[in-house]
Structure 1
């Protein structure tokens, strides 16, 4: 008689424990805020370890005030040198975050957009508790937008460099990661799509729009994202004979737009584009049916495609032609070939 053993095998138990530890670690690691990677007591210990002394804080604040005075008097270079000194000499002070922010603003004023963005990014990564987080994200978005629009950074604040639209894509991606729940995230994704489309990077554009509608369905940009996705796939359709996968996806997004945003001002345009795509797909089904009817003598397959053409766009010319083909098959009329086909074409009328 077999003895039932309900005890868990030691190896299975060990694997279960390891999985639990791994999942717990991943949950912490997936947090976008560095301060969330530690338990409360660990975070306090880390802060205490990295905290500047009161004297250092005072010296850093005094330098910040000196820099602001220089800035107010129009001396950007002198102000930036002072702020840079704060960052270098007192990196763990609260004032260090402010010095980076002010340096970033100076770079923006000098049209050094990429350098400005990078300085602001240091705040996000090294000073997560900086109180002006929203202003930092807004400034980063401004930098990325200006770069996207073709503005050129200036070397040494004077010499214009080349356009760097590709760089704006990376910057917008950073913004989405920095503040995924902020107001700028869907805007950043839309801008990624627009730049990618301009640079003929279709897959990247589709990916950005897809993330926008999936992660931010309540955004005011969602209707535009659906429309742009549908248009992007429609543009991929070279003819009724090719890219039918793109045609179906385009139809799907147009249908989603109509269902989700029936009050949109673009509803008429979308309905017209949907009809156009449906007609294209129906025509492709008609020609596939003709292939099996005329060249493979396979009426069963032909009927499947003819019926698909009618179902997809019942009011289209393709549907009317498909209906005639079905009637011929049901009447037992064989397709015209060779000389017979030529006579049919010459004396059709």
Structure 2
């Protein structure tokens, strides 16, 4: 009986008007105290009943449209929060995940603290991380769909900012770094990883974020983009990592990275000395050979080479 009555109501002119978003705007139907009039409250209740009847009958697309129309037309009605959530959740269940993310965002923004709030945050977070890793699937087909990196980043930022003091925030910020690292944009990845430590210094993800940032700065040098600024920044990142998170496994790995950077510095000093020797600027060459000798252990290959060259240019 209730379902039959609901489908009968759908044919009414009032219901048609609601679905097509005609008539008064949400601002026009509010009373002075911010609530809605009794007449509009009745319309919102009817619209919700129709949407629910469609949902129970398995007519999901029509149910979604009704719930969306209700939430858009009557955002202050008592059924509005439930309608917006059901719209988002049905989109989520049917695999229209990008649209579901937007609907969840509308729910989270407008209905903070309501009974579905935590569930909406969790589902929205799952969608954003799937989009970032390229594993966003349409549930009803099981097919993967790609999302532009900028769109995925925007989704993660919303997840981060929706609950800035929750565990989801540093996780989302870290995922932004991972997203850009996967997409080959090291500059954005490094900045995003460093932001993890700046925003969430107590997060368990902070040591890994710093380690990744420092490693990428070193990799740029290995790939032919070496410059002193990058190497100095990498050294600074690894030093910060060891000082801020001394007990982490990343701090131990940073120690070897710093040693590697030290070796690169010594090799660079030797190469500069060789450059000046080739130019017959022996005083400058001698200066850098002495730097290498002073900073390397006696008997090592580089130490022996520097001593040999120093003897040659000093004659």
For normalisation by structure 2, the TM-score amounts to: 0.74
In structure 1, stretches of 5+ residues that fail to align are 1-45, 335-349
Match of 1:83 in 2: 67
Q: Is the CA contact (8 Å cut-off) linking 2:81 and 2:111 kept in structure 1?
A: no
Question: 1:68 Cα shift?
Answer: 4.9
2:100 is the alignment partner of 1:100:
no
2:106 to 99, 122, 128: 122
Query: Separation in 2 of the partners of 1:267 and 1:277?
Result: 15
Aligned residues: 284
Q: CA RMSD in A?
A: 3.7
Q: Is the CA contact (8 Å cut-off) linking 2:121 and 2:159 kept in structure 1?
A: yes
Match of 1:333 in 2: 314
> In structure 2, the residue corresponding to 1:292 is in which secondary structure?
helix
In structure 2, stretches of 5+ residues that fail to align are 1-29
> What are the residue-to-residue correspondences of 1:152-167 with 2, within 5 Å?
152=136, 154=138, 162-164=145-147, 166=149, 167=151
Match of 2:240 in 1: 256
Question: 1:234 Cα shift?
Answer: 1.6
Stretch of structure 1 that moved more, 227-236 or 170-179: 170-179
Q: Is the CA contact (8 Å cut-off) linking 2:242 and 2:252 kept in structure 1?
A: no
2:253 is the alignment partner of 1:272:
no
2:265 is the alignment partner of 1:284:
no
2:200 to 216, 223, 247: 216
Structure-2 change in CA distance of 1:113 and 1:47 (3 Å): farther
Query: Separation in 2 of the partners of 1:196 and 1:231?
Result: 15
> In structure 2, the residue corresponding to 1:151 is in which secondary structure?
coil
Stretch of structure 1 that moved more, 102-111 or 319-328: 319-328
Query: Separation in 2 of the partners of 1:309 and 1:240?
Result: 27
1:172 to 147, 152, 156: 156
Deviations 1:25-49 (A, max 9, x none): xxxxxxxxxxxxxxxxxxxxx9957
2:162 is the alignment partner of 1:181:
no
Query: Separation in 1 of the partners of 2:293 and 2:34?
Result: 69
Query: Separation in 2 of the partners of 1:323 and 1:74?
Result: 81
For normalisation by structure 1, the TM-score amounts to: 0.67
